[in-house]
Amino acid sequence: MIDAAYDSHMSLATLPPSNICDRAREARDARFDGLFFTGVTSTGIYCRPVCPAPAAKRRNIRYFATAAAAAAAGFRPCLRCRPELAPGAMAHRLGEALIDRALAMIADGALQDGSVDALAARLGVSARQLRRLFVAAMGVAPLALHTTRRLLLAKQLLSETDLPATQIALAAGFGSVRRFNAAFQQGCGLAPLQVRRSQSAGARTSGDTLTLRLCYRPPFDFAAMLSFLAKRAMPGLERVDSDSYQRLAGTPQAPLRLRVSANPRQPELLLQLQGADPRAIPDLVRRVRRLFDLDADLAPVHRVFADEPLLARAIAQRPGLRVPGGWDGFEIAVRAILGQQVSVAGATTLAGRLLRAYGTPCAATDEGFDRLFPTPEALRDVPLESIGLPRARAATLRTLAAAVADSVVDFSAGQRLDEFVTQLCALPGIGPWTAHYVAMRALGHPDAFPAGDLILRQVLGAGTAISERECETRSQPWRPWRAYAVLHLWHLSGDLAKERKA
């Protein structure tokens, strides 16, 4: 059965067996979209498993674990199924922790301005060993993986926007159109102009507002995600309504507006960017994907939770629940400290006061978007008690701001969970609950678990809070996806409370 084949594949580190790929391709099974790519030797094109084109003969088919591996083998991306739209594969789905961390760092832009040698040094291995591990697991070296990703982003911009080639070259990280054209021709097998001509002008956005498609692997409870973000939205910086999330980003001198909504016809979100510098587009896309947890594959998560009755019930009620990320690590850490020992509403009120008092004013925009979140430098020496904070918590915020400003603490992707928690807990006023909450939302770490959380302890204790140690012990079978258990148990707590009152 292909269902069993899918479940079996999710525990594998590399390309699924060819017989599984055959059946998934023939069935155009969307669950495998992004998990492998199909190269057709008779045409020289590589496709997603869901490509609507007539199926090629099996003797002309080759399978690849990544789009980069297919490109390295000389295949060019399909113009019909558009491999750049394939949903991402969760960075932590592989079995080797070092590769997991490297993938998270690359996705976070580690090779945009840095080198493979620097990446390897951060991981504590040689560049040669890192390349060897990548070729074995991903079918391609780290730099080739990064290059293919930025060329596919350029292909998406060519297909979905009317940005001129000079701006697309900048967005893809190239300093000149000539270098961009040469790299694109080599990596995609087509000239940029050919890609643009292949898409109808009506499908592209033009003017000051661009719209990009960000695909995901269903299910996805977008309404639940918006509800979570709405309760924490700060007026002047964010706005959440029934069908979209809006935010001010960019710089004080060149602020930009973004809006994220769902496409009702496809499993994708639509990202609208107003006034964005093309060079900022890759970072903006990365942040939105992290904020909405778009690279999650919930099938292995649900499988791990199946033996826990509470989680099985929660999944049945909300199968598309994901872990809301954060736009910026420092912002999430500040808000976590503001939320210590107060309600979500109370923390949001304090965050709003902080934004008004110390946020960075921007050139006035319409609809009240006028302020960016304070920088670490702006908070390290200010009287935060003035917004109603207790003295100890204000001191903790100033200490955090100084640590981030001085690069003692950072929120870069790919950090080990235990090392990050230890680093953050070394700051006065920050304990394991805060550190795990920040790791869960700012780092997107799937195994973060704030075991001291009162709601978690009450839900697991059937209304009577169990100890933090018991909560930690109870969570061990749910690894490495405990962050998803946190969201499910938080949502389930309201249902259980209503039942106990009935």
Alpha helices (H) in 139-214, listed in sequence order: 142-160, 165-171, 177-188, 192-198
Closest CA to 274 of 290, 255, 291: 255
DSSP state of 140: S
Instruction: Provide the percentage of residues in the chain whose pLDDT is more than 70.
Output: 94
DSSP state of 382: S
Quote the distance between the C-alpha of residue 112 and its chain's center.
17
Give the C-alpha separation, 416 to 289, whole Å: 21
Q: Stretch 132-146: mean pLDDT, rounded?
A: 92
DSSP state of 36: B
Query: From the candidates 33, 108, 447, 453, which is the catalytic residue?
Result: 453
For residue 142, pLDDT beyond 80? yes
Query: Can you say whether the dihedral through the CA atoms of 283, 126, 417, 215 is positive or negative?
Result: positive
Q: Stretch 302-309: mean pLDDT, rounded?
A: 96
Q: Work out the widest C-alpha separation in the chain, in whole angstroms.
A: 72
Give the other-Cβ count within 10 Å of 392's Cβ: 10
pLDDT, averaged across the chain: 92
| pLDDT class of 97 with cuts at 50, 70, 90 | confident
Instruction: Provide the percentage of residues in the chain whose pLDDT is more than 90.
Output: 83
What would the pLDDT profile of 118-132 be if each residue is shown by its tens digit?
999 999 999 999 999
- Tell me if 393 sits within 8 A of 427, measured CB to CB: no
Fold of 329-501: Endonuclease III; domain 1 (1.10.340)
Fold of 2-85: DNA Methylphosphotriester Repair Domain (3.40.10)
Give the C-alpha separation, 124 to 421, whole Å: 19
- Tell me if 263 sits within 8 A of 213, measured CB to CB: yes
More confident residue, 500 or 129: 129
Question: Which two three-digit tokens encode residue 364?
Answer: 């006035």
Query: Can you say whether the dihedral through the CA atoms of 91, 96, 98, 102 is positive or negative?
Result: negative
Give the C-alpha separation, 233 to 240, whole Å: 7
pTM of the model: 0.93
| pLDDT class of 500 with cuts at 50, 70, 90 | confident
| pLDDT class of 77 with cuts at 50, 70, 90 | very high
Query: From the candidates 21, 47, 81, 362, which is the catalytic residue?
Result: 47
Within 8 A by CB and 6+ apart from 96, the residues are 13, 133, 137
Give the other-Cβ count within 10 Å of 490's Cβ: 16
Q: Stretch 388-395: mean pLDDT, rounded?
A: 97
CA torsion, ordered 127, 129, 134, 135, to nearest 10 deg: 110
According to CATH, the superfamily of the domain at 208-279 is DNA-3-methyladenine glycosylase AlkA, N-terminal domain (3.30.310.20)
First to last CA, the chain: 43
pLDDT of 96: 55
For residue 365, pLDDT beyond 80? no
Q: Give the residue carrying structure tokens 């093309």.
A: 278
- Tell me if 128 sits within 8 A of 5, measured CB to CB: no
Within 8 A by CB and 6+ apart from 8, the residues are 20
Give the C-alpha separation, 401 to 407, whole Å: 10
Q: Stretch 180-202: mean pLDDT, rounded?
A: 88
Domain ranges across the chain: 2-85, 97-202, 208-279, 329-501
Q: Stretch 384-397: mean pLDDT, rounded?
A: 97
pLDDT of 8: 46
More confident residue, 89 or 19: 19
Give the C-alpha separation, 214 to 113, whole Å: 24
For residue 13, pLDDT beyond 80? no
Q: Give the residue carrying structure tokens 């498609």.
A: 213
| CA-to-CA dists, residue 337 to 70, 166, 469, angstroms | 46, 43, 22
Is 362 marked active-site? no
| pLDDT class of 11 with cuts at 50, 70, 90 | very low
pLDDT of 198: 83
pLDDT of 203: 67
Give the other-Cβ count within 10 Å of 334's Cβ: 25
For residue 67, pLDDT beyond 90? yes
**What totals of helices (H) and strands (E) does the chain contain, helices first?**
24, 11
DSSP state of 54: P
| pLDDT class of 502 with cuts at 50, 70, 90 | low
pLDDT of 12: 40
**Residue 176: strand, helix, or coil:** coil
Q: Which amino acid is at 419?
A: E
For residue 1, pLDDT beyond 60? no
CA torsion, ordered 182, 183, 189, 193, to nearest 10 deg: -60
| pLDDT class of 253 with cuts at 50, 70, 90 | confident
Give the C-alpha separation, 427 to 392, whole Å: 12
Check: CATH 1.10.10.60 for 97-202?
A: yes
Give the other-Cβ count within 10 Å of 203's Cβ: 9
**Paired strand residues for 261:** 244, 270
What would the pLDDT profile of 21-57 be if each residue is shown by its tens digit?
999 999 999 989 999 999 999 999 999 999 999 999 9
Question: Which two three-digit tokens encode residue 400?
Answer: 């955090």
pLDDT of 496: 85
pLDDT of 386: 96
Is 295 marked active-site? no
| CA-to-CA dists, residue 131 to 70, 99, 154, angstroms | 17, 10, 25
**CA-based Rg of the chain, rounded to a whole angstrom?**
23
**Residue 226: strand, helix, or coil:** helix
More confident residue, 393 or 495: 393
pLDDT of 41: 97
What would the pLDDT profile of 143-174 be if each residue is shown by its tens digit?
999 999 999 999 999 999 999 999 999 999 99
Quote the distance between the C-alpha of residue 323 and its chain's center.
10
Exposure b/e, 67-97, CB count within 10 A at least 16 = b: bbbbbbeebbbbbebbbbbbbbbbbbbbeee
Give the C-alpha separation, 327 to 373, whole Å: 10
**Residue 162: strand, helix, or coil:** coil
